[in-house]
Structure 1
Amino acid sequence: MSDILAERGLLDDSQAQTSGVPAETFHGEKSTNFHGEKSVGPAAPLEGQYLPAKEGVTLLDTDMVDPSPYQPRKIFNEVALQLLADAIQANGGLNNPIVVRPKANGRFELVGGERRWRAHDILQWTKIEAYVRDLSDEDAAVLAVTDNESQEPLTDFERALSYKKLLDSKAVKNQMTLSRRVGRSMATISRCLAYFKLPQETLTLLEDDPAFIGTKHVADLAALADEGHKDLVVQATQLVFDGKLSQEAAVAWIKSSVRKSSDLPPAPPVPVKLFAKGRELADLKVRGQKITLDCPKGVNPEEVLELIKKHFDPPSEA
């Protein structure tokens, strides 16, 4: 208003001289500009820095907020975060403030909105709008999952990790309660939990890249591992991870390998040589439920039989 009045010559000289002093910025930006470069000349104000306060919203120092221990997201895409930061700046702030809960040490724990909080760090804004809520561990854990689902979607494996953590920590009693709290069907939850039937080697790869295997094929892979083909599952998932096979091709490759191995004729029995007092007495072979002894020339089979009988109890009398 002072600027407008000064422009129209309605202020005296002393008032006009002070009219160009900007008000304190809403977000408390750091001295560097948006991308962190050193600015030349007077710093241009960031868009949206004079936001009006929203009802029920608290303005917090960003460095007083700690990440949620229940955060299910494993990877924060840097490009997506930059786009979010650009959108927040262009919009003049958050349409949807973050949610935090107070900690005993005076700090705050994120419940929902870690991507928005990280975007503020990119913008170098030192203040962030937040809803402060007193929440139980159970509610905080569930809201951490549902908030992520409503923003940039989680990968299937990240979702599976969050569901497992909620169940293991007893934050929810069972899968039925989990289904109701997170708004997902029991079938979806079961498909996600199938990840944890995969070999540990495959789970380690998923920790590095949560998106490389989806729930569409995880049940087949888990079933094949459970049927005794763990090594093939590990080989196939490594090929998917390396970009050499698609998920569908990996499942087909395992099934083909299993069929080929079952079509091979049984390997011939390997003989076991029996010795007594330094002398070879027989070649023992196992064929199904049968054991055969082949005695070399010069060895009396009756002698071998007597030696064997000494190692067993005599038949009981009827």
Structure 2
Amino acid sequence: MSISKDQANKAASVNLDDDEPFRPGAPAAARPPRTAPGQLMDLQGKYRDAQAAIERLEKGGNAMELPLSRIIRVPGRQRPLTADERAELKVNLDVNPLIHPVVVLPETEDGYELFSGYNRVELYEELGRSTILAVVRDVPADRVEVLAFYANLLAPSLPDFKKYEGLKARQVETGFTLGQLSEESGMSTSSISRLLKFETLPHEAIQVLEKNPFILGATAAENLAKATEAGRGNLVIEAVIKLAEARLLNTANNKTPRFTEDNAVAHANGVKPAAAKATPLPPMVVKQGKSHFAKLVVRGDQVTIKFSNATTSAGEWAGKFESFMKSELVKMSELD
């Protein structure tokens, strides 16, 4: 077995930040699938296996109440949560005892390095707790970072931008080619190549994404990268800023964002997105007693009136409509 495959197998056995309910599943297939759906199922299987593995870590041995002040957090290991996921977890931790302890590495002079449970530790601090239930596990020093990276990479909810950051950091650390990253991670080279397109976005856009990693997926990022290469970097920056603003506004109002990834790509390419077609109004029927007198149909800026009786004087009614509209315009001018 090659070193890279050995690392991949070990990475699939640990989930660094399992702040979700555990759903142990069947082992992942030994031979990497070739199709996109097969690769997705394979990664999902690896993630379930990772959850089961860390559950075993947490259950084994004696847990202890560890002071939060003694826990050392390493930047880059915390799996980001959406606002809804974070709020749900915080409420859960506030009202329920911690069933699964966090995992720390053996104590050093500086304290205990946190291996699993970054979101739980952070939320415990916000809740005003001073200690958290923890177990100590000895993980080989040369395996901590690679296990941490791939455990997070396999999380289904990890945004594409964070996957890019992790893959890029891994590539810089190891000097791996796309093929080697693919062999190690189980992801296709095309998926990795698409994720790495984030790198070609303008620096200002990257800064926005660092603070708002959920707003842009890899496919849209690839299209924005093409716009950047075509010399439309300023439009790309504007598009990413608009995405962040739309998410912030609509999260506050609990609404679906109006400025979408498709809008962002269109903006970056200088194309005005097609306006949504207005929902046509149903015909309005005017009755005289029980009989239909006329039907009004609205199409855009036109109102069509069709009288049911051919003997009705259309010209006479046109004069009445004219008089009515003039009187309404007078009322409107008085209000101004």
TM-score of the superposition, structure 1-length normalised?
Answer: 0.54
Q: Map 1:60-75; keep pairs closer than 5 Å.
A: 60-71=66-77, 73=79
| Residue type of the alignment partner of 1:69 | P
Distance 1:89 1:176 in 2: 45
Distance 1:56 1:204 in 2: 43
| CA apart distance, 1:158 | 1.4
RMSD: 3.2
Report the CA distance shift for 1:62/1:239 in structure 2 as closer, same or farther (over 3 A).
closer
In structure 1, the residue corresponding to 2:103 is in which secondary structure? strand
* 8 Å contact kept, 1:112–1:148: no
Distance 1:151 1:89 in 2: 24
Cα deviations across residues 265-317 of structure 1 (Å, max 9, x unaligned)? xxxxxxxxxxxxxxxxxxxxxxxxxxxxxxxxxxxxxxxxxxxxxxxxxxxxx
For 2:140, the equivalent position in structure 1 comes to 135
Aligned pair count reads 202
Distance 1:116 1:147 in 2: 17
| Residue type of the alignment partner of 2:68 | T
For 2:209, the equivalent position in structure 1 comes to 206
Report the CA distance shift for 1:76/1:123 in structure 2 as closer, same or farther (over 3 A).
farther
| Residue type of the alignment partner of 2:222 | A
Q: Map 1:6-155; keep pairs closer than 5 Å.
A: 54-59=59-64, 60-71=66-77, 73=79, 80-88=85-93, 92-95=97-100, 97-102=101-106, 104-121=108-125, 122=127, 124=129, 126-137=131-142, 139-149=143-153, 153-155=157-159
Report the CA distance shift for 1:250/1:92 in structure 2 as closer, same or farther (over 3 A).
closer
* 8 Å contact kept, 1:72–1:162: no
Cα deviations across residues 145-203 of structure 1 (Å, max 9, x unaligned)? 34435667221111211221222233x73444433444433332222111010011111
For 1:218, the equivalent position in structure 2 comes to 221
For 1:233, the equivalent position in structure 2 comes to 236
Cα deviations across residues 61-84 of structure 1 (Å, max 9, x unaligned)? 3322111233254x5556534532
Distance 2:105 2:181 in 1: 22
Which sections of structure 1, spanning at least 5 residues, go unmatched?
Answer: 1-52, 259-318
Which sections of structure 2, spanning at least 5 residues, go unmatched?
Answer: 1-57, 247-257, 273-336
For 2:265, the equivalent position in structure 1 comes to 251
Report the CA distance shift for 1:132/1:210 in structure 2 as closer, same or farther (over 3 A).
same
In structure 1, the residue corresponding to 2:105 is in which secondary structure? strand
Report the CA distance shift for 1:224/1:78 in structure 2 as closer, same or farther (over 3 A).
closer
| CA apart distance, 1:54 | 4.2
Higher relative contact order (CA 8 A, sep 6+): 2
| Residue type of the alignment partner of 1:80 | E
Report the CA distance shift for 1:90/1:185 in structure 2 as closer, same or farther (over 3 A).
farther
Cα deviations across residues 224-278 of structure 1 (Å, max 9, x unaligned)? 21122222322333333332732212222333459xxxxxxxxxxxxxxxxxxxx
| Residue type of the alignment partner of 2:188 | S
Distance 1:110 1:141 in 2: 12
* 8 Å contact kept, 1:111–1:143: no
Distance 1:98 1:195 in 2: 32
In structure 2, the residue corresponding to 1:129 is in which secondary structure? strand
For 2:161, the equivalent position in structure 1 comes to 157
In structure 2, the residue corresponding to 1:219 is in which secondary structure? helix
Report the CA distance shift for 1:216/1:111 in structure 2 as closer, same or farther (over 3 A).
same
* 8 Å contact kept, 1:99–1:133: no
Report the CA distance shift for 1:127/1:208 in structure 2 as closer, same or farther (over 3 A).
closer
* 8 Å contact kept, 1:141–1:166: no
| CA apart distance, 1:99 | 2.9
Distance 2:266 2:83 in 1: 34
| CA apart distance, 1:221 | 0.8
Q: Which moved more, 1:242-251 or 1:158-167?
A: 242-251
Report the CA distance shift for 1:79/1:140 in structure 2 as closer, same or farther (over 3 A).
same
Report the CA distance shift for 1:195/1:254 in structure 2 as closer, same or farther (over 3 A).
same
Higher helix share: 2
